[in-house]
Structure formats: structure tokens, C-alpha cells
Amino acid sequence: MSTATMERTLEDSLLLRLRVEELLFTEADLLDSWKLESWLALFTEDAHYYVPPSDVDGDTATPDTSLFYIMDDPVRMRERVVRLSKIGAHSEHPRSKVRHLVTNVRVERDGDIIRSRSSFIVSRAKDITHDLFVGHYLHEIVDQGGELKIRKKTCVLDMEALRPHARISIIL
């Protein structure tokens, strides 16, 4: 490979990573500010949102054969957002203060899919409780006419258990 080609490849992958980072940071920002309808708009029509439990290999497990914490299909993702907009979603009323930190973003192309792997810490504070969720995200992203959309988001918790949290009532 000539130096020129190498530079172009490097440029391409840097550019791709910047685009993906922009998407992930936007996502984090929307979740932190509870703009859940806009958050939903970042996903494709056939998107899924998963949170596996701590005692399976979260990178490879599937919710069709293992019990997950969350295995949302598009219908349920929408319903989750609808539910969280209501005063009857007691667990999030009044709404908790949420902060998503997303770092160590790695991106690779896999055919038409862009796979991203990143680290997260999500902080949730509500009345007398303050909990941290620590783990890594696996995002499957597609380019829809120049716009990046998320087709699948898996939040793998790098934790031994969901203690003392008790709930994932926010969106990770």
C-alpha cells in the first residue's frame, strides 16, 4: 500500500468513527435530557434494544434463549417511550437525573453494517438513591442515504449483579 492510500484509509476510518461518535453522543444527550421521542428517531424501523443479565456472555447471548433484563423489539421500544412519558411510570416520577458517559469508541465495517463498541457509565440519581451502571455498548448501525441509524443496541453490563440498583427504569 502506498503512503497516499494508507492515509486515505486512515482518513476514512477516522471520519467514520467521528460520524459514529457524533451519533452516540447525540444519543447520550437526548437520553440525558429525556427527549425520548427524538431518541427513538435515531433508530431504524426494525430496531432492537437489549440488556442481557450479568451471568451470561452478553456479547453473544440471545434473548430468545436466555432470560434478559430487556429484549425490546420496535413495538416495545415505542411503548417504553410512551410509558416513560406518563406520570403512572412511578419508578421515573419525578424523573431521575441521568448522565450517560460514552467513551473508547471503536468502529468497524461489516458489510453494510457498521459495528461500534464503546464503554459507558450511566448515572441515575433520584431522591435518596444514586446508582451507576457500568458496561459496554454494542451498536449496529446502518447508513440510510447518508444518515446513520441504529439498528440494534445491546447494553452489556460489566457488573456482577444489578445491586443495589433494583431497576433499569431509565434507558441505558
Partner 1 sequence: MALTTGIINDKERAQFLVPRRAFTDRSIFEKEYEAIFNKCWLYLGHASELAEPGTFLTRTVARRPILFTRDKEGEYHALLNACPHRGALVCRERHGKGRAFMCMYHGWTFGSDGHLMTLPGSSGYPKGFKTDPQKQMVHVPRMERFGDFFFINFSKDGEDLATYLADAGDTLKLLGEHSPGGMQIVGGTQEYSIRGNWKLLAENSFDGYHAACNHSTYLEYLGNTKGALGVDPLKGEAVDLKNGHAMVEYTAPWGRPIANWVPIWGEEGKKEIDAVYAELQSRVGPERAERIAKKSRNMVIFPNLVINDIMAITVRTFFPTAPDYMEINAWALAPKEETEWRRKFRLYNFTEFLGPGGFATPDDVEAIEKCQQGYAVGGDAQYNDISKGMARDGAPSFDDEAQMRAYWVEWDRRLSEYEA
Residue numbers of the site for partner 1 (CB under 8 A)?
51-56, 61, 63-71, 73, 75-76, 79-80, 82-83, 86, 88-92, 127-129, 160-169
Residue 58 near residue 152, CB atoms below 8 Å: no
Least gap, CB of 129 to partner 1 (angstroms):
7
Q: Which is nearer to partner 1, 109 or 167 (CB)?
A: 167
Q: Which is nearer to partner 1, 80 or 139 (CB)?
A: 80
Q: Which is nearer to partner 1, 70 or 107 (CB)?
A: 70
Least gap, CB of 122 to partner 1 (angstroms):
13
Instruction: Tell how strand 147-157 and strand 97-110 pair up.
Output: unpaired
Least gap, CB of 161 to partner 1 (angstroms):
4
Least gap, CB of 97 to partner 1 (angstroms):
16
**1 vs 105: CA distance, rounded Å:** 26
Q: Which is nearer to partner 1, 73 or 158 (CB)?
A: 73
For 111, what's the count of Cα atoms within 13 Å in the CB-facing half-sphere? 1
Longest dimension (CA), the chain: 62
Q: Which is nearer to partner 1, 1 or 87 (CB)?
A: 87
Nearest alpha-carbon partner for 154 in 68, 96, 91: 68
- The three-point CA angle 101-106-110 to 5° equals 130
Least gap, CB of 115 to partner 1 (angstroms):
23
Nearest alpha-carbon partner for 138 in 47, 37, 59, 48: 59
Q: What distances in angstroms separate CA 51 from CA 110, 139, 155, one per listed residue? A: 22, 12, 5
